[in-house]
């Protein structure tokens, strides 16, 4: 996986858009209603919340931008120098530093104005302090428009950079322009780099991937390099120089021996020697390309000497400045990207050189000593001097001898029996013949369930089905006899007491059946009804008297009390229903009371005549009227406070100037 992914950096808005975004968020996510009649502490909190919310929005967004962009001092040196080449490190760090300073200034402005808002003495004073705080914050951010625009351009360019892992296995292709670097990359990887017959077709680094020895390899195509001083090289060439300087990779120096690239072999050799310090401590291979046009043998002796000198220098660079096996070790690799001749050999040679070098570097490092101390190879120790040669059991030796002699085996296997009886799908193996049971007759039982050494099926009575049928016939006969006896019952010979008992039993049975059917139809989902909704009229004074007398209690006093209460209630109802026969004209005028008092009195009078509720806990009508008045008073106070608060959604201005200014008119589509 790539070490750095610059495509995840969020878009950097412009200065004006930044102001609109933050102010719109403050308008949407903070209260918008404030009144002059509020307590001053509430007004201060209202405006302090606005200032703090705006400051936190600026702080979070600026922090996200600063965290997304890579720090030059924290990234790999390859990316640090690449940033310096592409964007100028000083400008890049200056832009990030200005945003960091703007964030600190906004925090300081918020802190100062919140301190002033704590001493605001009026709504107007607090509002003006809030406006001043937001205005200073917006001014600070508008001054950062140039830095924001620069960082947005850097972000767009960085998102187009290839994902290069500086620490993985890498093949780096370099050389003069138009020598076949991109063609080689297209042949060995799945990349599709543009190839044209003119110089500097490749203007940036391109990355492709290939597989070798079940490992993933990274192939980097670099732009062409010209032989000139470092200070005169342009940005395109400096990308190649940066990759050569910082990536620990196998370097392939492509040489165009046909000179179709526009540069002679002497010029290409001069470039090789000028950038030779960049090849230090890296596997280096000199590859002669375009052998389909010209071969190495067709070159002039001077050119062949230059090529041979480059190959020897490459071998010395790869081996730390010396040739271990002489000049014969230095090999010139040839290929043709057009006909694919020698391309795979170049790839495998470069990969093998890089793998061997990585292993040598690890062995020469300091960490190998720590690992060697923990490695232990276990060697078995001899316990005596007895000789123990390999021994084959006699049965195995005999079976092998019979097999070698071609004789039939002593015991047929299931596979042999399968082949003799029709093969797979026809022969069915007998899985029970190898059961180890106490009795061999148990192997093929219908129910071979063994418990304590016995088969359960052996204890089953063979006549149990016949006995079961006889028992069922006997039960059917008894049931039929009972039914006939019930149908033939004659009630004429019963005594009156027995007849009365029989009727009670039948009525009770019918009632139980009816109740069961009702409960079954409603699934016991009936509501519990109050006692006054007694449909069956069970709760009557007569039933109460009978129940008390059955228990041996005198019910005379209870009955008298119930009759007296019913009579008094009926008399009160009749008194209320009687209307006055006439009105005395000369009577004294009635004193009119206040309407609200009359309503409350009428309400209290009506409640006083109502029956007391269960669990009311009040002694009389006066207490109930007082409770009603107290409840109304509490509700009145709560109703007055039930108004729109500062947390409710409210937009005083449907078209605020900071959101609507500078927008397009009718017919345009230039939306923000």
Cα 285 to Cα 311: distance, rounded to the nearest angstrom = 7
Who contacts 157 (Cβ-Cβ below 8 Å, separation ≥6)?
Answer: 86, 87
**Cβ–Cβ < 8 Å for 299, 264:** no
**Cβ–Cβ < 8 Å for 139, 158:** no
Q: What percent of the chain has pLDDT over 90?
A: 17
Residue 282 within any structural domain of the chain: yes
In Å, what is the CA distance from 77 to each residue of 4, 158, 605?
13, 16, 94
- Give the tens place of pLDDT for each residue, 498-520: 888 888 998 999 999 988 887 77
- Asked whether residue 129 carries a pLDDT value surpassing 50, the answer given is yes
Residue 138 and residue 186 in one domain: no
Residue 578 within any structural domain of the chain: no
Cα 82 to Cα 240: distance, rounded to the nearest angstrom = 10
Which of 99, 129, 157 is the C-terminal boundary of a domain?
A: 157
Cα 566 to Cα 560: distance, rounded to the nearest angstrom = 10
Residue 56 and residue 192 in one domain: no
Neighbours of 555 (CB within 10 A): 16
Residue 70 within any structural domain of the chain: yes
**Taking residues 55-69, what's their average pLDDT?**
93
**Cβ–Cβ < 8 Å for 97, 120:** no
Segments of 367-484 assigned E as strands: 450-451, 454-455
- Asked whether residue 128 carries a pLDDT value surpassing 90, the answer given is yes
- Asked whether residue 457 carries a pLDDT value surpassing 70, the answer given is no
Out of 148-152, 256-260, 468-472, 640-644, which region has the weakest mean confidence (pLDDT)?
Answer: 640-644
Cα 71 to Cα 120: distance, rounded to the nearest angstrom = 43
Taking each helix axis from N to C end, the angle separating 89-117 and 40-68, rounded to the nearest 10 degrees, works out to 170
Number of compact structural domains in the chain:
2
Residue 126 and residue 172 in one domain: no
- Asked whether residue 64 carries a pLDDT value surpassing 90, the answer given is yes
pLDDT at 594: 44
Cα 284 to Cα 173: distance, rounded to the nearest angstrom = 10
DSSP 662: T
Cα 387 to Cα 195: distance, rounded to the nearest angstrom = 73
Residue 281 within any structural domain of the chain: yes
Residue 185 and residue 318 in one domain: yes
Residue 371 within any structural domain of the chain: no
Residue 555 DSSP SS3 = coil
Residue 207 and residue 303 in one domain: yes
* Alpha helical stretches, state H, 30-161: 40-68, 77-87, 89-117, 123-142, 145-159
pLDDT at 328: 44
Residue 48 and residue 180 in one domain: no
Tokens standing for 331? 């090999």
The residues with which 251 forms a beta bridge, in sequence order, are 172, 284
pLDDT at 604: 46
pLDDT at 618: 79
Residue 147 and residue 170 in one domain: no
- Give the tens place of pLDDT for each residue, 153-176: 888 888 887 788 888 888 999 988
**Cβ–Cβ < 8 Å for 265, 231:** no
If pLDDT is split at 50, 70 and 90, which confidence band does 125 have?
A: very high
- Asked whether residue 572 carries a pLDDT value surpassing 60, the answer given is no
- Give the tens place of pLDDT for each residue, 355-384: 888 888 777 766 666 666 777 778 888 888
Who contacts 538 (Cβ-Cβ below 8 Å, separation ≥6)?
Answer: none
Cα 523 to Cα 205: distance, rounded to the nearest angstrom = 79
Which of 365, 395, 427 is the C-terminal boundary of a domain?
A: 365
Residue 62 and residue 198 in one domain: no
If pLDDT is split at 50, 70 and 90, which confidence band does 575 have?
A: very low
pLDDT at 163: 80
Residue 174 and residue 119 in one domain: no
Taking each helix axis from N to C end, the angle separating 343-364 and 181-188, rounded to the nearest 10 degrees, works out to 80
If pLDDT is split at 50, 70 and 90, which confidence band does 135 have?
A: very high
Cα 532 to Cα 607: distance, rounded to the nearest angstrom = 20
CATH code, domain carrying 338: 3.40.50.300
Which of 312, 336, 365 is the C-terminal boundary of a domain?
A: 365
Cα 475 to Cα 471: distance, rounded to the nearest angstrom = 6
Residue range(s) defining the domain that contains residue 328 = 162-365
Cα 273 to Cα 227: distance, rounded to the nearest angstrom = 10
Residue 148 and residue 168 in one domain: no
pLDDT at 147: 93
- Give the tens place of pLDDT for each residue, 187-203: 888 877 777 766 677 77
Helix (H) / strand (E) containing 389: none
> Do the bridges between strand 206-212 and strand 170-175 make them parallel or antiparallel, or are there none, so unpaired?
unpaired
For the chain, what is the radius of gyration of the CA atoms?
53
pLDDT at 342: 85
The most confident of the ranges 50-59, 225-234, 392-401, 650-659 is: 50-59
**Taking residues 412-439, what's their average pLDDT?**
83
Residue 631 within any structural domain of the chain: no
pLDDT at 642: 62
pLDDT at 606: 46
CATH code, domain carrying 118: 1.20.120.1190
**Taking residues 196-213, what's their average pLDDT?**
79
- Asked whether residue 56 carries a pLDDT value surpassing 50, the answer given is yes
If pLDDT is split at 50, 70 and 90, which confidence band does 448 have?
A: low
Residue 96 within any structural domain of the chain: yes
> Do the bridges between strand 170-175 and strand 454-455 make them parallel or antiparallel, or are there none, so unpaired?
unpaired
Residue 150 and residue 283 in one domain: no
Residue 421 within any structural domain of the chain: no
Please identify which residue in the block is written with the tokens 């322009």.
177
Please identify which residue in the block is written with the tokens 């109703």.
639
- Asked whether residue 272 carries a pLDDT value surpassing 50, the answer given is yes
pLDDT at 368: 65
- Asked whether residue 577 carries a pLDDT value surpassing 50, the answer given is no
If pLDDT is split at 50, 70 and 90, which confidence band does 610 have?
A: very low
If pLDDT is split at 50, 70 and 90, which confidence band does 531 have?
A: low
Output the DSSP codes for 350-381.
Answer: HHHHHHHHHHHHHHHSTHHHHHHHH-----PP
Q: Where is pLDDT greater, at 131 or 579?
A: 131
SS3 content of the chain, % helix, strand, coil (to 5): 55, 5, 40
Q: Where is pLDDT greater, at 450 or 120?
A: 120
Helix (H) / strand (E) containing 542: helix 541-550
Closest listed residue to residue 73, CA positions, set 64, 58, 85, 84: 84
Output the DSSP codes for 5-21.
Answer: -GGGPPP---HHHHHHH
Longest dimension (CA), the chain: 153
pLDDT at 378: 84
- Give the tens place of pLDDT for each residue, 319-362: 655 554 444 456 788 888 888 888 888 888 889 888 888 888 77
- Asked whether residue 126 carries a pLDDT value surpassing 80, the answer given is yes
Q: Residue 126, exposed/middle/buried by CB under 10 A (0-12, 13-18, 19+)?
A: buried
**Taking residues 67-91, what's their average pLDDT?**
82
Residue 208 and residue 346 in one domain: yes
**Cβ–Cβ < 8 Å for 352, 291:** no
Tokens standing for 191? 């990349």
């Amino acid at each position: 996986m790539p070490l750095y992914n610059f495509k995840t950096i969020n878009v950097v808005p412009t200065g004006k858009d930044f102001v609109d975004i933050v102010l719109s968020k403050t308008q949407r996510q903070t209260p918008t209603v404030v009144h002059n009649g509020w307590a001053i502490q509430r007004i201060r909190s209202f405006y302090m919340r606005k200032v703090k919310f705006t400051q936190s929005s600026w702080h979070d967004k600026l922090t996200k931008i600063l965290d997304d962009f890579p720090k030059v001092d924290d990234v790999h040196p390859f990316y640090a120098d690449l940033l310096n080449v592409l964007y100028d490190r000083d400008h890049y760090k200056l832009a990030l530093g200005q945003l960091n300073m703007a964030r600190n200034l906004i925090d300081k402005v918020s802190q100062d104005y919140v301190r002033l808002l704590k001493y605001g003495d009026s709504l107007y004073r607090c509002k003006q302090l809030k406006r001043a705080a937001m205005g200073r914050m917006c001014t600070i951010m508008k001054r950062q428009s140039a830095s924001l625009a620069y960082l947005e351009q850097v972000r767009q360019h960085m998102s187009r950079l290839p994902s290069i892992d500086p620490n993985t296995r890498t093949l780096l292709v370099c050389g003069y322009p138009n020598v076949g670097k991109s063609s080689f990359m297209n042949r060995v990887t799945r990349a599709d780099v543009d190839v044209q017959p003119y110089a500097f077709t490749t203007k940036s680094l391109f990355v492709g991937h290939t597989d070798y020895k079940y490992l993933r390899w990274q192939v980097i195509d670099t732009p062409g390099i010209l032989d000139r001083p470092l200070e005169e090289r342009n940005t395109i060439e400096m990308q190649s120089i940066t990759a050569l300087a910082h990536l620990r990779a196998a370097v392939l120096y492509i040489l165009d021996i046909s000179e179709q690239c526009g540069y002679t072999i002497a010029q290409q050799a001069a470039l090789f020697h000028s950038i030779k310090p960049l090849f230090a401590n890296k596997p280096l291979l000199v590859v002669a390309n375009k052998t389909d046009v010209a071969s190495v043998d067709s070159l002039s002796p001077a050119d062949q000497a230059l090529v041979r000198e480059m190959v020897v220098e490459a071998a010395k660079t790869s081996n730390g400045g010396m040739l271990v096996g002489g000049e014969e070790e230095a090999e010139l690799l040839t290929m043709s990207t057009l006909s694919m001749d020698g391309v795979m050999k170049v790839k495998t040679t470069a990969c093998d050189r890089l793998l061997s070098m990585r292993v040598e570097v690890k062995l020469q490092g300091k960490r190998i000593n720590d690992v060697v101390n923990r490695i232990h190879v276990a060697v078995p120790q001899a316990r005596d001097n007895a000789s123990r040669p390999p021994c084959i059991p006699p049965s195995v030796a005999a079976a092998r001898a019979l097999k070698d002699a071609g004789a039939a085996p002593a015991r047929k296997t299931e596979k042999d029996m399968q082949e003799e009886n029709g093969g797979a799908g026809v022969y069915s193996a007998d899985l029970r013949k190898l059961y180890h049971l106490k009795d061999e007759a148990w192997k093929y039982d219908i129910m071979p369930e063994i418990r304590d050494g016995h088969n359960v099926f052996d204890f089953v009575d063979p006549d149990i089905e016949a006995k079961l049928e006889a028992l069922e016939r006997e039960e059917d006969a008894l049931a039929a006899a009972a039914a006939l006896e019930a149908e033939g019952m004659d009630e004429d010979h019963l005594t009156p007491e027995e007849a009365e008992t029989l009727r009670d039993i039948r009525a009770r049975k019918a009632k139980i059946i009816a109740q069961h059917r009702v409960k079954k139809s409603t699934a016991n989902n009936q509501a519990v009804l109050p006692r006054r909704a007694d449909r069956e009229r069970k709760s009557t004074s007569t039933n109460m008297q009978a129940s008390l007398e059955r228990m041996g209690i005198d019910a005379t006093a209870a009955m008298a009390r119930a009759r007296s209460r019913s009579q008094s209630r009926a008399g009160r109802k009749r008194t209320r229903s009687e209307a006055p026969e006439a009105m005395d004209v000369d009577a004294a005028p009635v004193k009119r009371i206040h309407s609200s008092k009359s309503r409350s009195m009428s309400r209290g009078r009506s409640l006083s005549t109502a029956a007391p509720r269960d669990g009311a806990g009040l002694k009389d009508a006066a207490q109930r009227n007082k409770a009603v008045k107290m409840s109304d008073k509490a509700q009145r106070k709560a109703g007055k406070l039930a108004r729109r608060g500062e947390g409710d959604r409210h937009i005083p201005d449907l078209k605020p100037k900071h959101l609507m200014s500078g927008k397009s008119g009718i017919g345009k589509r230039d939306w923000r």
